[in-house]
Structure 1
């Protein structure tokens, strides 16, 4: 919304602001907000959901089949379950929210025990190490020991 306000202010300052142009700036601001808005990730016992712009996708973490990390600069974690469900999201969401990671990890462990998780155990292990390291650094920083 800051984009729309700034462009309206600049256009008004240049003397070229009209009702049509104000509408255009407002529409562009809303469009930019909806495109850049990150997906909402939530989890419960045995499931993980990613809510995007249009719909919500859900996977059963107890029946994961594959976990992979795509991309080198803007990475995405892609989870697929045995029922055809698939979600993709930024793994930094898990780093920022260790409780989401705990739900995913618990479900992935059950998938391993049941034998459904065939691909991505190393991806989960590396992600877990990264999250544990970040959490430990945060605890040390908060306690003043770093």
Structure 2
């Protein structure tokens, strides 16, 4: 098995750590928040129906279904990145894209801004750009592989979006350093 062009000796500008996987750390806290919001909605709906005397079994099922739907919408995806890949796992599906084979990166605006990554094998992952800004180690893995794809000529669409996120990550990192050192005004 031969080496890819970007793995040949002497061409990798930053030595990679092959076993290290970057992941979103406060995922459990965000999951707990979504559970609490859903439970609070369910309790409030049951309390209102019980207080007015209109609570029936079918209305209880309706309120429970509504709370479950809210949980599904609020449940955060778990994002992990490693050498040559990034994965997003939600309650309903798991998606993986090979970042060492990226062909496009698009920013999709809508209710919330999303970053859509596609690889040459047909893999597709949608990410909230804030996940990358809040977790620089995940961003580092993606950026490192994206730079190799640009240098190899595979990634032709999306370099502007990646540059914008890079600037955001740099700005947030600098602000964090200023906050920790007490230099923030």
Secondary structure (helix, strand or coil) at the match of 1:54 reads coil
The reply on whether 1:24 has 2:62 as its aligned counterpart is yes
Number of residue pairs matched by the alignment = 146
Which position in structure 2 is the counterpart of 1:123?
Answer: 161
The reply on whether 1:60 has 2:110 as its aligned counterpart is no
| 1:72 Cα deviation after fit | 5.8
Secondary structure (helix, strand or coil) at the match of 2:147 reads helix
Which position in structure 2 is the counterpart of 1:92?
Answer: 130
Change (3 A) 1:70 1:145: same
Alignment partner for residue 139 of structure 2, among 93, 101, 121? 101
Deviations 1:16-57 (A, max 9, x none): 222332222112101221123232221111100111332211
TM-score where L is the length of structure 2: 0.73
Please give the root-mean-square deviation of Cα atoms over the aligned residues, in Å.
Answer: 1.5
- Give structure 1 stretches of 5+ with no counterpart: none
Which position in structure 2 is the counterpart of 1:41?
Answer: 79
TM-score where L is the length of structure 1: 0.91
The reply on whether 1:144 has 2:176 as its aligned counterpart is no
Secondary structure (helix, strand or coil) at the match of 2:106 reads strand
User: Which aligned segments of 4 or more residues in structure 1 are displaced greater than 3 angstroms?
Assistant: none
Higher strand share: 1
The reply on whether 1:51 has 2:89 as its aligned counterpart is yes
Change (3 A) 1:144 1:114: same
